[in-house]
Structure 1
Amino acid sequence: MLRLRCCLLTQLLSSPSASSASHLRRLISAAAPAVSPNPSFAVEEYLVATCGLTRPQAAKASPKLSHLKSPDNPDAVLSFLAGLGLSTADVAALVAKDPQFLCAKVDKTLAPVVAGLTGLGLSRSDIARLVSLSRKSFRYRSIVSKLHYYMPLFGSSKNLLRALKRNPYLLSSDLDGIVKPNVAYLHECGLGACDIAKLCSNQPRLLTTNPECIQGIVARAQNIGVPRGSAMFRHALHAIAFHSEEEVAARVDYLKSTFRWSDAEVGIAVSKAPSVLTRAKESLQRRSEFLISEVGLEPAYIAQQPAIVCYSLEGRLRPRYYAVKFLNENGLLKRNPSYSTVFTGTEKTFREKFICPHKEAAPHLQEDYDAACKGQLPTNFRFTRAKNGL
């Protein structure tokens, strides 16, 4: 019976007529003979043996299903989930978190929801992922209307699913009272649709929090020197979202002391690269020691090029520094490049400018640089001397 239902559902989902929920209802009805209530139906055993729950999970979930007298509806739901492509582990996790999912009506609720989501452009794999992320929200047909709003807001199912993973409350929040006013306010602050999609994919709580809280976050972003409408405003909101004014001030003070910046310099750095506020203290300290003490950069220079503080120390800054240092020491560069150019250029650009042109003069440079980028060599590594006395 389960296999037959699964095959029927799979056929429907892969058919161009998947929007017809009534067709699925007729198929399931035709495939399912009447089942007499079974007064001895053991819910806890069913959850363990059929759904894959652990014994403690089943014991916790079974009281919510005590009204079930037969496995008929749970069997239909499991068949439905299998037809969507959920794994045994996915099903077990879903049932453990929302046991009442097994009570949902396939023909009246779940199948129409799938048909509606398919109509919005979600693929079968997207819908399967959505089942796991949305949990009980998938048991309500209102999920279709909510996703009808969220899909164009996030711009793609990938962004939407990322946001739901971080904040499943998106599907239970009040669209008209909370979400839409927050989106409208972000638009007023100068963020375009693409900016809002990127911001809220990473910080989806901005959509579901109280509008007054959003206004406070905007005010704190302006207080650190990033005005509305600026190119860095979205990044500033992401960096300080849900941090208090005191926490933000403490982060700014730590940057000042670590990089020896004045008030003006830290203001410049934060306005150009708000993400410096998100770095761990130890990470910032190590970058300061490297850039100031080893490379010899002035604090004022770093403040003007704060993006370098955000790059990987072992995977980018050190390998590039050692490569350029080697080239300079061996007279292979006509002039000293700026470290802004060295550190901020793309990997492709760096290799084309500093590695590839020196293959003959420094045959081991590329090999050593590749190894350094992978962290396979100590930080005090010096590149093998080139041939011909260089």
Structure 2
Amino acid sequence: MLLRLRCYILTQLLSSPSASPASQLHRLFSAAAPGASPNPSFAVEEYLVATCGLTRPQALKASAKLSHLRSPANPDAVLAFLAGLGLSDADVAALVARDPQFLCASVERTLTPVAAGLSGLGLSRSDIARLASLAAHKFRQKSVLSKLQYYLRLFGTSHNFLRVMKFSNILSHSIERVVKPNVAYLRECGLQDCDIAKFCIQRPRMIISNPEHVQAMVACAENIGVPRASGMFRHALQAVAFLGEEEITVRVGYLKSTFRWTDAEVGMAVSKFPPLLRGSEKSLQRRFEFLISEVGLESAYIAQRPVMLGLSLEGRLRPRHYAVKFIKENGLLKCDPSYYTVFKESDMTFKKKFIHPHKEAAPHLEKDYDAACKGEVPTNFRFT
């Protein structure tokens, strides 16, 4: 019966996309949900396994929070609601295992009004289904609507909001006591809402951390030589976020010893390219050694242009070096180029400057270069 109910509701939803899923659900539940009387012998654990798809250990743990249930009527209605939103069986099982009491929520008084409110805020049915999976118990609280309204203004789109939710349930934190003070402080530091949104997608904990902690991170970003007014400030804040002073000191020591930089050079490099503080040491070292041994750059030159250490070795540095080396050795380049320019330009600009002018003399150069960017580095670029 439950399976037929699910299929009926989902079919009705798909056949009438113009109406909101919430309004349809409200109407369909009134017509399609079967009545049920209390059943003293209702076995919650078996229901969780057979109907909800939980494993036996999950069901055993979840059933402790559902011991008051005496009938499958409400859980059946909740499952039909979730099926109507489009959640898969696996998604439903994960949600119930995470929040067993979701099965106790009132579809008519809580879930349907919440879904209707979310639809009114512009969320699609798939967005609402995704939010139900990610938010769990917060989805069955009507306060989710006011919180989401705030976050949609901050993040710009439901897509951005759901990306943040994937890594951190920010709906579980107080907007008034935590989020708004942090956002206001970041705005005072010169960050625009679009910057804060980008930041939170990568570091969701920033706006839900203790405000004093956020202020300490801002101070740390300034201490590495990046002022608030700098366009690099957001990147500096991302680099030092949740790193302690000791960790930063250790990384600075690594940069000095590995790259043979002076204190001044380390300070300059970090202030110009803060991600040096978080990058993989092995990857940084491989790029540095390539730039020194194969390209022939000086350590001090790299310190002044540290962004090169953040570029892909296999996808950019190596193939561009080989291409420039080829055209230089074959007399197609009249003067030595700035390797910083060679490496930092967009792919389109690089080709326009160094590949396309030599199409007649080296017709295979672009093809060889494209292959090199995909990791198929040839031993020699070809003329014919």
Q: Deviations over 1:1-23 (max 9, x none)?
A: 544466447756966553976x7
| Contact 2:21-2:125 within 8 A present in 1 as well | no
| Contact 1:268-1:303 within 8 A present in 2 as well | yes
Q: Deviations over 1:317-341 (max 9, x none)?
A: 1111111111111111222221111
Deviation at 1:365, TM superposition (A): 2.2
Aligned to 1:106: 107
Q: Deviations over 1:145-173 (max 9, x none)?
A: 100111111111121111111111x1011
Report the AA paired with residue 263 of structure 2.
D
C-alpha separation between the residues in 2 aligned to 1:28 and 1:301?
70
Aligned to 2:20: 18
SS at match of 1:64: coil
C-alpha separation between the residues in 1 aligned to 2:124 and 2:94?
22
Deviation at 1:232, TM superposition (A): 0.6
Map 1:226-265 to 2 at 5 A.
226-265=226-265
Report the AA paired with residue 85 of structure 2.
L
Q: Deviations over 1:157-215 (max 9, x none)?
A: 121111111111x1011111111111111111111121111112211111111111011
| Contact 1:40-1:69 within 8 A present in 2 as well | yes
Map 1:47-126 to 2 at 5 A.
47-126=48-127
User: Which 10-residue stretch deviates more, 41-50 or 213-222?
Assistant: 41-50
C-alpha separation between the residues in 1 aligned to 2:220 and 2:10?
51
Deviation at 1:255, TM superposition (A): 1.7
Aligned to 1:152: 153
- How many pairs align? 382
Aligned to 2:196: 196
Deviation at 1:219, TM superposition (A): 0.7
Report the AA paired with residue 201 of structure 2.
S
Gaps of 5+ in 2: none
Map 1:262-277 to 2 at 5 A.
262-277=262-277
Aligned to 1:299: 299
Aligned to 2:37: 36
When the two structures are superposed, what TM-score results if normalisation uses the length of structure 2?
Answer: 0.93
Report the AA paired with residue 243 of structure 1.
L
| Contact 2:199-2:238 within 8 A present in 1 as well | yes
C-alpha separation between the residues in 1 aligned to 2:319 and 2:45?
58
| Contact 1:38-1:70 within 8 A present in 2 as well | yes
| Contact 1:5-1:76 within 8 A present in 2 as well | no
Pair 1:127-2:128 in alignment:
yes
Aligned to 2:379: 382
C-alpha separation between the residues in 1 aligned to 2:69 and 2:237?
49
Cα 1:15–1:369 change in 2 (3 A) is: closer
Cα 1:62–1:283 change in 2 (3 A) is: same
Report the AA paired with residue 72 of structure 1.
A
| Contact 2:86-2:126 within 8 A present in 1 as well | yes
User: Which 10-residue stretch deviates more, 30-39 or 218-227?
Assistant: 30-39
Map 1:341-356 to 2 at 5 A.
341-356=341-356
Gaps of 5+ in 1: none
Q: Deviations over 1:118-141 (max 9, x none)?
A: 111111111111111111111111
| Contact 1:9-1:83 within 8 A present in 2 as well | yes
| Contact 2:319-2:372 within 8 A present in 1 as well | yes
Aligned to 2:279: 279
C-alpha separation between the residues in 2 aligned to 1:222 and 1:198?
20
Aligned to 1:225: 225
C-alpha separation between the residues in 2 aligned to 1:384 and 1:234?
40
SS at match of 2:92: helix
| Contact 1:95-1:101 within 8 A present in 2 as well | yes
Report the AA paired with residue 176 of structure 2.
D
Cα 1:127–1:33 change in 2 (3 A) is: closer
Deviation at 1:353, TM superposition (A): 2.4
Report the AA paired with residue 173 of structure 2.
S
Cα 1:43–1:297 change in 2 (3 A) is: same
| Contact 2:22-2:119 within 8 A present in 1 as well | no
C-alpha separation between the residues in 2 aligned to 1:36 and 1:151?
42
Deviation at 1:78, TM superposition (A): 1.1
Q: What RMSD over aligned residues (CA atoms) do the two structures have, in Å?
A: 2.0
Counting aligned pairs with the same residue, the percent is: 68
Deviation at 1:371, TM superposition (A): 2.3
C-alpha separation between the residues in 2 aligned to 1:324 and 1:125?
49
C-alpha separation between the residues in 2 aligned to 1:128 and 1:369?
45
When the two structures are superposed, what TM-score results if normalisation uses the length of structure 1?
Answer: 0.92
Deviation at 1:260, TM superposition (A): 1.9
| Contact 1:5-1:28 within 8 A present in 2 as well | no
C-alpha separation between the residues in 2 aligned to 1:156 and 1:255?
39
C-alpha separation between the residues in 1 aligned to 2:121 and 2:382?
61
